Chain A
């Protein structure tokens, strides 16, 4: 071994990669200039971006927030954005013609809605979900005003019927159907016979009344969110029922469901809204007329339920037939197997489609502007019709568009989060 002239006894540190293979240069070469085509695309994209931004940024950030008319804006800041219209008219864009003194009510409703959504959206708080059931009644009372006690009595009836159901099933061990029908009976009896006397008594003891607000005064984003959230919430269960009906082995039920779904999906929403505004009165007993917002809400809900049914049907169809066979061989009844085996999987598969549908519903609420309701798009035209703001377009569009974007983009991000949460297969 003595002929070895040199033995390295210390490891030398690895030398740094060549300049082109590290840090920002490597990133640039890989992501922006990996081939001549990519280089051309990059340069073109950068030019395009620079061109667009150099036009938009000064307009956006040089905006005028203080003027009182479009003319004054143009005099003060030239062609820059005239956001003064938002500063002056933001209340109408958000609340429509809701009375100014009562703005706290929609705001409180919105906050309550966020609170009520938390247990539904985040599985960690799921055990609080029954509290969320209190929200719809509170929202109706807060938004439309009137006495609190009818809402209270409704919930009292609901609570007693649920409690009765629970006692019958758990303690008396009645079969499910009997318990269910009995509790519905309890609710009807309560609502018909007890509700009104209780309301009268409590009302005289403790009047709890808010000034009532007409539906016609609703507008702006208040209206969009009201229509969107309500029809999203109601269309989901109806959609499940329709999808089950369509997939069921009862030919008559299937036919009715298919007929409904295909009819609604075949015509544009705008024709249905026109039906709601001009034709619905023909279909109801002579002399009935009810709120336009309620009619629109019914149409919007039915419309989205048909789409939701198709989304869920896709999820059900995607399940391997072995799942049904396994459920049947376990001796589960139809509803048990749907509730425990089929739906949890089918709904999970249909999350992306469901999200798309919900986003579509929320965007479709803008269509009510065509039948004369003042949602943000309708309100923008109304604002433009005013002499002071005649000719203002982009400031309103940017504001309305970004609000919609926040809501819709938020929904799609949440659905990605939910998909990750519910992922059960390992990748």
Chain B
């Protein structure tokens, strides 16, 4: 007998839903239709609304005169500059806050996270109060609080005046904390300072080379060099020697009181300080938790195995726990950096001129170009966040556990 033929079932309409061979196509076609019609509906509405208002999508406003001042700018900007330049100033301000916020958050977070694991009862309690306190109160409230602290609780510049002032400058009379901002000394680079800077950069390169050498030495011979001490010496010694050899070319310009305000030095505005400190401190609580949980995530067997091999606790931490914990800690920490960048858009609460306040704030209100401004703003944030997530993926790929 001939083998029975392959069951050729005739196609019925019901099979579009009931048969798994066709169902996925049905669902996708349905989803596609829904998606396209919703998108069409939105675009159509927008076009109608814009037409009714007599507007059309047009980015030429970016090259017209901005006409407003920005109090903190990293590049040259006057109110005669264009809106595009104002947006650029805002972007740089956002990145500045993000950079310093990440710096503070990382240092503080590492410090607090390690202290959180301390076997000292009172330190462990205090750090957990710190972590829970900052994590459970909204960041906006912290930003406003830091700003209120800096503007309300610090002395006015005139308190520094006179023979017997009520406030004095801190840190060897070099930093003035006032309710108008904090004044730091400004480094002045004289002739010959190029050699000092060059030496400093070279010693940074030297540190990297030394660390690579130390790692290879350890892998090949098991010999461990005092990395921290030697790096520190490489960092400081040559620069200091060159600094004195070239005749102390770098000097500091101290802020001083003139009239009712401080002159010279670097003026850091309270809005910037409040935002950076608040974001840094708030996020440090999250990073501290990441550090703690990352270290605790390493299986206890690792510690026991290392101890069984005769390693001392310090070595166990440096050689066994930390290299493994880094893999757990770093990716979520980088995404916390992304959070800092996104949260810096709360700058409006303290009047700091970030990209949301320039492009998405004053420019938007002055030109009435809501659609274009918000679009550009979102594109900026999306680029930043996609950049950061590609860094995370790169890290994950470089550090993933390679199994056979």
Contact = CB atoms under 8 A, between A and B. Distances in A.
Interface of A: 30-32, 34, 38, 41-42, 45-46, 48-49, 177, 249-253, 256, 262-263, 265-271, 274-275, 278-279, 281-286, 359, 363-364, 366-367, 369-370, 377, 380, 391, 393-394, 397, 400-401, 404-405, 408-409, 412
Nearest to A44: B123
B18 to A, nearest CB: 9
A408 B134 CA distance: 11
Interface of B: 17, 24, 27-28, 31-32, 35, 42, 45-46, 48-50, 52, 118-123, 126, 132-133, 135-141, 144-145, 148, 152, 342-343, 345-346, 348-349, 356, 360, 364, 370-371, 374, 377-378, 381-382, 384-386
Given A253-B31, A393-B152, A397-B148, 5 more contacts: A31-B121, A34-B120, A266-B382, A274-B360, A279-B374
A46 B346 contact: no
A61 to B, nearest CB: 19
Nearest to A397: B145
Nearest to B55: A282
Contact of A250 (B24, B52, B122, B148): B24
Contacts of A45: 120, 122-123, 126
A285 B45 contact: yes
A32 B45 contact: no
Contacts of A38: 118-120, 123
Contacts of B45: 282-286
Given A253-B27, A263-B382, A363-B138, A405 B133 contact: yes
A363 B32 CA distance: 36
B374 A271 contact: yes
Contact of B50 (A32, A263, A282, A285): A282
Contacts of B118: 38, 41
A250 B145 CA distance: 48
A34 B119 contact: yes
A267 B342 contact: yes
A284 B43 CA distance: 9
A41 B360 CA distance: 47
B277 to A, nearest CB: 15
Contacts of B144: 377, 380, 397
Contact of A377 (B46, B133, B138, B381): B138
Contacts of A265: 385
Nearest to A48: B126
A251 B52 CA distance: 38
Contact of B346 (A274, A359, A370): A370
A42 B384 CA distance: 42
A408 B349 CA distance: 22
Given A32-B122, A252-B32, A278-B370, A377 B137 contact: no
B381 A266 contact: yes
A282 B346 contact: no
Nearest to B120: A38
B356 A271 contact: yes
A42 B123 contact: yes
A370 B45 CA distance: 27
A412 B128 CA distance: 14
Nearest to A400: B141
B274 to A, nearest CB: 13
Contact of B141 (A252, A359, A397): A397
A271 B357 CA distance: 11
Describe B's contact surface by its main secondary structure. helix
A256 B30 CA distance: 13
20 contacts: A31-B121, A32-B121, A48-B126, A252-B31, A252-B32, A253-B27, A253-B28, A263-B382, A266-B382, A271-B356, A271-B377, A271-B378, A274-B374, A279-B371, A281-B49, A282-B45, A282-B46, A367-B140, A394-B148, A400-B141
A279 B368 CA distance: 11
A256 B356 contact: no
Contacts of B343: 268
A367 B346 contact: yes
Contacts of A397: 141, 144-145, 148
Contacts of B385: 265-267
Contacts of B140: 366-367, 369-370, 377
Contacts of B50: 282
A249 B135 CA distance: 37
B356 A270 contact: yes
Contacts of A405: 133, 136-137
Given A397-B148, A405-B133, A370 B123 contact: no
Interface centre among B135, B140, B144 (most CB of A within 10 A): B140
A99 B272 CA distance: 40
Contacts of B49: 281-282, 286
Interface centre among A281, A282, A359 (most CB of B within 10 A): A282
A359 B268 CA distance: 33
A250 B35 CA distance: 14
Contacts of A283: 42, 45-46
Contacts of A394: 148
Given A263-B382, A271-B377, A41 B120 contact: yes
B136 A268 contact: no
List of 9 A-B pairs having minimum Cβ-Cβ separation, nearest first: A31-B121, A408-B136, A266-B385, A363-B138, A268-B342, A268-B345, A366-B138, A266-B382, A252-B28
A411 B108 CA distance: 26
B24 A249 contact: yes
Interface centre among B17, B120, B126 (most CB of A within 10 A): B120
A373 to B, nearest CB: 13
A359 B377 CA distance: 27
Contacts of A275: 374
Given A41-B118, A282-B371, A267 B382 contact: yes
B17 A177 contact: yes
Contacts of A286: 45, 48-49, 52
B280 to A, nearest CB: 17
Contacts of A249: 24
A412 B360 contact: no
A266 B140 CA distance: 19
Contacts of B121: 31-32
A359 B139 CA distance: 12
A150 to B, nearest CB: 27
Contact of B138 (A49, A252, A404, A409): A404
Nearest to B43: A283
Contacts of B152: 391, 393
